[in-house]
């Protein structure tokens, strides 16, 4: 497919995810942004069990209409630790109280690891690899085929943080769920764009944003708002709304201009009794392995996301 002078070539992405309220909103953005081409989806156990995250991805594929995109299931749990989940946040089914029609199309027979490797190998330098769940599938793909670090156009994760955790005081959920996988991923030799909590907690669904989501009509009322407002942290007296963490990772691929980012060296703690899963971030290192978005153009982000959602609603 030729790209014409001046026309922005679509950016291709593979999304490895654990839907998940915000993973579902990230899939909607990846599908509805005309500057993005979602070429494959892989699932991992995380927010809820793999059978639920995979069912959610399959049902979202048919409900939103990206039925030409393969969906492959991956690891049910972490490399070595006990499986954890975040069902208290995402609901037992993983997408809150949203009920979607049962999927008719099957999961891809290749499995997540082989789909990731094959997709990247067939289009070297073209596919942006985005991970918004625990990094188990990515670590397993790297073990099987280390060259994916050369084939990926970029590698963007929602995960980690450089100041605080959300699952423990030190660790963010995606890293905490599989610290060994995250350590292997950050040490693989590529540059990881680490879209962490310090960034994503700027992307809050405030009452004003919720009103703009409702203006999307049925899509807003029946899908976007229920996904974006299901969780309300009773322990947080300063609750300002649910953060659309994973949407920020997909947004970075399409609109990196909405983010200001700093290089850093990130090491993942795997031995700490209290700090396992902490992404120890050194902004002064002369050996950076990560790019860390630190500031979000919040108004620009929501204008971009809601304009894309409006296209899906139309």
Residues acting as catalytic residues = 245
Sheet holding 259-268, edge to edge: 71-73, 36-43, 11-17, 127-131, 152-158, 192-195, 290-296, 259-268, 279-282
> Which position among 16, 22, 178, 184 is part of the footprint of ligand RIB (CB under 6 A)?
22
Stretch that binds ligand RIB, among 31-39, 74-82, 168-176, 292-300 (CB under 6 A): 168-176
- Cα 281 to chain centroid distance, Å, stands at 20
- From residue 35 to residue 74, what is the string marking binding to ligand RIB with x (rule CB under 6 A)? -----------xx---------------------------
Per-position b or e across 223-260, b if 16+ CB within 10 A of its CB: bbbbbbbbbeeeeeeeeebbbbbbbbbbbbbbbeebbe
Nearer to ligand RIB, 47 or 289 (CB): 47
Burial of 280 (0-12, 13-18, 19+ CB in 10 A): middle
What's the closest the beta carbon of residue 201 comes to ligand RIB, in angstroms?
A: 10
> 151 or 278: whose CB is closer to ligand RIB?
278
Determine, following the binding rule CB under 6 A, whether residue 166 of this chain makes contact with ligand RIB: yes
**Binding pattern for the stretch 235-274 against ligand RIB, x by CB under 6 A and - elsewhere:** ----------xx----------------------------
16 binds Ca ion (CB under 5 A): no
Comparing C-alpha atoms, which of 81, 85, 103 is closest to residue 94? 85
Residue 72: strand pairing partners: 42
Task: For residue 264, give the DSSP letter.
Answer: E
DSSP strands (E only) in 36-188: 36-43, 71-73, 127-131, 152-158
3-state secondary structure of 1: coil
84 binds ligand RIB (CB under 6 A): no
Q: Which one of the spans 15-23, 96-104, 146-154, 230-238 is the region binding ligand RIB (CB under 6 A)?
A: 15-23
204: which DSSP letter?
Answer: B
* Binds ligand RIB by CB under 6 A, chosen from 13, 127, 158, 290: 158
Restricting to residues 175-194, which ones interact with Ca ion according to CB under 5 A? none
Instruction: Say how many C-beta atoms besides its own lie within 10 A of residue 287's C-beta.
Output: 7
Q: Is residue 132 near ligand RIB by the rule CB under 6 A?
A: yes
Residue 252 interacting partner from ligand RIB, Ca ion, none (CB closer than 5 to 8 Å by kind): none
SS (H, E, C) 109-140: CCHHHHHHHHHHHHCCCCEEEEECCCCHHHHH
23 part of the interface to ligand RIB, by CB under 6 A: yes
Binding residues for ligand RIB, per CB under 6 A? 18, 20, 22-23, 46-47, 86, 132-133, 158, 166, 172-174, 245-246
Binding residues for Ca ion, per CB under 5 A? 18, 20, 23, 132-133, 246
């Amino acid at each position: 497919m030729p790209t014409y002078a001046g026309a922005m070539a679509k950016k291709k992405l593979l999304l490895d995810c654990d839907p998940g309220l915000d993973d579902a909103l990230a899939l909607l953005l990846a599908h509805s942004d005309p500057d993005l081409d979602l070429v494959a989806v892989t699932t991992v156990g995380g927010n809820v069990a793999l059978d639920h995250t995979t069912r959610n991805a399959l049902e979202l594929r048919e409900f939103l209409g990206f039925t030409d995109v393969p969906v492959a299931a991956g690891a049910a749990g972490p490399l070595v630790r006990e499986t954890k989940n975040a069902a208290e946040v995402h609901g037992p089914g993983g997408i809150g109280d949203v009920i979607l029609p049962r999927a008719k199309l099957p999961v891809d027979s290749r499995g997540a690891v082989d789909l990731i490797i094959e997709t990247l190998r067939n289009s070297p330098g073209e596919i942006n690899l985005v991970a918004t769940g625990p990094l188990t599938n990515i670590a397993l793909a790297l073990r099987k085929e280390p060259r994916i670090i050369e084939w990926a156009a970029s590698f963007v994760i929602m995960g980690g943080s450089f100041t605080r955790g959300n699952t423990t005081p030190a660790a963010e959920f995606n890293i905490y769920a599989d610290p060994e996988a995250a350590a292997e991923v950050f040490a693989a030799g590529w540059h990881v764009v680490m879209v962490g909590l310090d960034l994503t907690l700027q992307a809050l669904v405030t009452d004003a944003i919720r009103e703009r989501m409702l203006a999307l009509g049925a899509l807003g009322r029946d899908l976007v708002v229920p996904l974006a407002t299901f969780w309300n942290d009773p322990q947080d007296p300063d609750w300002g709304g649910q953060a659309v963490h994973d949407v920020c990772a997909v947004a970075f691929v399409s609109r990196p201009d909405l983010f200001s980012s700093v290089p850093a060296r990130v090491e993942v703690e795997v031995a700490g009794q209290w700090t396992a899963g902490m992404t120890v971030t050194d902004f002064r290192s002369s050996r950076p392995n990560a790019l860390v978005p630190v500031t979000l153009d919040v108004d620009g982000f929501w204008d971009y996301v809601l304009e894309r959602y409006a296209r899906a609603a139309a």
